[in-house]
Amino acid sequence: MGYLSTTCHVLSSIAIAETLPAKLKRTEELVDLISKYPAARVYAVKEGAIKLLLRTREKYSDEALQQVIREALAILGYVEQLPGRGIRILSIDGGGIRGIAVIELLRKLEQISGRRISDMFDYICGVSTGSILLSTVGIPNGRSLDEALTLYKSLSTDLFTQQKVKGYWNLAWSHAYYDTVKLESILRDYIGTMPMIQTNRQAKCPKMSIVSTIVNLDRPLPYLFRNYSIPHQRYSEYRGSHDHPLWKAVRASSAAPGYFEEFLLDGLVHQDGGVTVNNPTAVALHEASILWPGVPFQCIVSCGTGRTLPMVRSPGYVHDLTDENAVPDAKNTSLTTKLNRVLESATDTEGVHHVLEDLLPRGVYYRFNPYLSEVIAMDETSGEKLSLLRRDTEDYIRKNETRFKAATKTLLEEKSLTAKAMDFVKHKGYLWNAHL
C-alpha cells in the first residue's frame, strides 16, 4: 500500500474509531506517517485532516489524545487563533555568555506581568545564546529563569575554563578552541532530546524558531529549526525543518567559528546563526507574517546581549576594546580576543534595530539592549566581569523601568469581546461547513 492510500486509510480509521484508545492509536499512526512523508502531509491537508482532528479535539477531552492531536496539527501547518489582539513576538540576539543579561531582561518582564515568558508571546526566535534561552524558558513546562542562569554558570565554569595549551591544540586539531563534545553533553543533559515539533504537545506552546547558518552551499545562508510546519500553499524565504531534536538545533545555532566545531546534520554543515543573523527580529517578523497573514503586530520585544559605547579618538588612534588606555600589539593580542572581534564585527544587531525602529509603529516595538561599562567577551569566565555584566544590566533596567512597563502592558492587552465572538463564529464555520 502506497503512503497516499495509507494516509487515506488512517484518516478514515480516525473518523470511524469508536473508542478512545483506537482514536489515540490511529492519530499516532497519522503523526508517524506525515512526519516521514512530506507528500503525505500535503495529501492529508487536502483530504480534510485538519478539520477531522479539530472535530476530534472538541469531542474528546482526554489529555493524551489532545497532546497527539496538537502535534499532528502543527505538522500539518495548522495555526491556532491568537489570544491577544495581534501577534506578540520575542527575539533574542546571540552573544555567548552575555545571555546572562537577557535573563535579567526577561526576569523584569516576568516580575511586572506575573506571567512566564512562554505565556506572553505567540512567536519566539533565538540565535546562538538566544536559542539556549528559547529552548529553556520559552516552553510552557520548561525551565525557569533561575535554572537558565545555572546553565550559563555551568557553561562558564565547565566549558570556557580550560588551559590555553589545550585550546590551541583543539584549534589546530578540530578548528575549535573549546571542547565540542563537552558542549554537546551539557546541551543534551539540560535541554533534552525532544524533537522540536513535539513541544506542541504542551498546550499553548508558542511558535518557535532557532537560527543557524548553513556554510556548505554557494554562500552562507540562514537556516531555521522550527517547531511548526509552514502552512499549505504559503512559503518562507528561509530553508528549515521541524523534526530535529531541540538540543541539536541549539548545538547548530551555537557553533561559533573558532570556538566550537561545525555541526553536520542531514548533509548540511551548520555554524553559529550569528554569522548571518545575530539579531533575528526581522526573521521572526517574516515567519510570523506567514503564520498569521493579515494580522497586525501587537508587541515586538527584541533583546540584545549588551553593547559598549564606541570611543571617539583622534585620527590614527588604535583602540583596544578590552583596555581603555592601551594601544594593542597585534602580536600579543590573544587568539580568543581576535575570534571575538571577527565574529562580532561580522554582524550588526543595532543596524537591524534602527531599520525596524523606523518601520514599525510607535508603541509596538521595544528593543532592550543594555549598555556595558566594559567589553564582555562571548566566552568570559571572570566572576568579577560577569558580576559587572549583571550590575550593568540591572542599572539599565532601572533606567528603563517605564519602557518595561509599557511593553508589558502592550503584551497583556486582550482581544475585545467582539473580536472573540468573530473568531468563534469563524472557527465554527471553518470546522463544519466543508466536507471531509
Under a CB-based contact definition with an 8 Å cutoff, are residues 136 and 190 in contact? Answer: yes
Active site residue 395: no
Where do the DSSP E strands lie in 216-313?
221-226, 239-241, 263-265, 268-272, 297-303
Asked if residue 271 lies in contact with residue 262, where contact means CB atoms within 8 angstroms, the answer is yes
Which of 91, 113, 118, 128 is catalytic? The answer is 128
Phi, psi of 308 (to 5 degrees): -115, 150
Residue 413 has which C-alpha cell? 492587552
Q: For residue 30, how many other CB atoms are within 10 A of its CB?
A: 28
- 113-121 own/partner pairs: CB under 8 Å, 24+ apart: 113/408, 113/411, 113/412, 115/412, 116/140, 117/90, 117/145, 118/142, 118/204, 118/205, 118/206, 119/204, 120/88, 120/90, 120/408, 120/411, 120/412, 121/88, 121/89, 121/90, 121/206, 121/301, 121/411
| Residues written for the chain | 436
Q: Is 179 annotated in the active site?
A: no
Question: Which among 272, 302, 379, 392 is annotated as catalytic?
Answer: 272
* CA 74/CA 243 separation, integer angstroms: 11
Residue 228 burial class via C-beta count within 10 angstroms: exposed 0-12, middle 13-18, buried 19 and up: buried
* Residues tagged active-site: 128, 272
